[in-house]
Amino acid sequence: MRITPSILNADFTRLGDEIARVPSADAIHIDVMDNHFVPNLTIGLPVVESVRAMTAQMLDIHLMIEDPDRWAPSYAEAGAESVTFHMEAARAPVRLARTLRAAGARAGAALNPATSASVLTSVLGEIDTVLVMSVEPGFGAQPFLDLVVPKIAEIRSMISAADLDVWVQMDGGISLETIERCVEAGADTFVAGSAVFRAQDPDQMVRQLRDTAQAASAGARTVSACACGRRG
């Protein structure tokens, strides 16, 4: 179970200090928005390059931009360990995933809440992460959309059926209240923005979210082992 805090709700004037507040994070999730793919504008490559220079933590870039085919490779070349593009925006997702991997990054494919899991069929073997949006992308602190939970299970089955090692990352409205249902459906990686950066102790919240996810995962394994035992 991995927790990747999003800095979208951090204080951008003190980005270095804010990142230093979450040493237990598995990665720092950076939301790049272009005001075209989503109705919001955040930060781009120069800021990511500065962040790269100040931390050794894994950088997880979430590109909510048009034309990721053109822009995404620069983030991998800048040293980000993971670069995620949206399937709704990519023109040639297989080629893009291969380019990102060749540049040394994990390749991620993101789906908006209304995008069906079936768009992943041809790219699943080319990527390292599926990011499932559980809010409409563009802003932090929106309520979790429960309608995406069945899609998590669908994606996890596709990954298992193909015997692949692909992370299933949830993004949007993740908190101590919503993380368990995502784990039970098959997610293993969690972006949390407002839940972490609005907490009094952000690092403690990271650890609490991970503990809650791990407990839910252990519980889910016990339930499925019991169900198998009953069938047998």
- 62/151 with CB nearer Zn ion: 62
What are the helix and strand counts (H, E) for the chain?
8, 8
Strand partners, 62: 31, 84
Q: Is residue 108 at the binding interface for ligand DX5, with CB under 6 A as the rule?
A: no
Q: Is residue 202 at the binding interface for ligand DX5, with CB under 6 A as the rule?
A: no
Does the CA dihedral 196-172-125-92 come out positive or negative? negative
Q: Which of 93, 140, 186, 202 binds ligand DX5 (CB under 6 A)?
A: 140
- 43/220 with CB nearer Zn ion: 43
| Site size for Zn ion (CB under 5 A) | 3
Residues 6+ positions from 119 with CB-CB distance below 8 Å: 87, 111
Q: C-alpha 51: how far from its chain's center?
A: 18
Residue 171: active-site member: yes
Beta strands in 82-165 (DSSP E): 82-86, 106-111, 129-133
- Provide the H-helix boundaries in the chain: 15-20, 45-54, 68-77, 93-102, 149-161, 179-185, 194-197, 202-231
The two structure tokens encoding residue 188: 């293993």
**Tokens 């993380």 sit at which residue?**
179
Looking at 31, 34, 60, 128, which residue is catalytic?
Answer: 31
| Cα angle, residue 130 at apex, residues 123 and 9 outer, rounded to 5° | 140
Residue 188: active-site member: no
- 183/195 with CB nearer ligand DX5: 195
Q: Which of 93, 186, 193, 202 binds ligand DX5 (CB under 6 A)?
A: 193
- 35/122 with CB nearer Zn ion: 35
Report what 208 binds from ligand DX5, Zn ion, none; CB cut-off 5-8 Å by kind: none
Distance CA 23, CA 9 (A): 17
Q: Which of 1, 28, 62, 90 binds Zn ion (CB under 5 A)?
A: 62
Report what 135 binds from Zn ion, ligand DX5, none; CB cut-off 5-8 Å by kind: ligand DX5
Interacting residue ranges for Zn ion, rule: CB under 5 A: 31, 62, 171
The catalytic site residues sit at 31, 171
Interacting residue ranges for ligand DX5, rule: CB under 6 A: 6, 8-9, 29, 31, 62, 135, 137-142, 171-174, 191-195
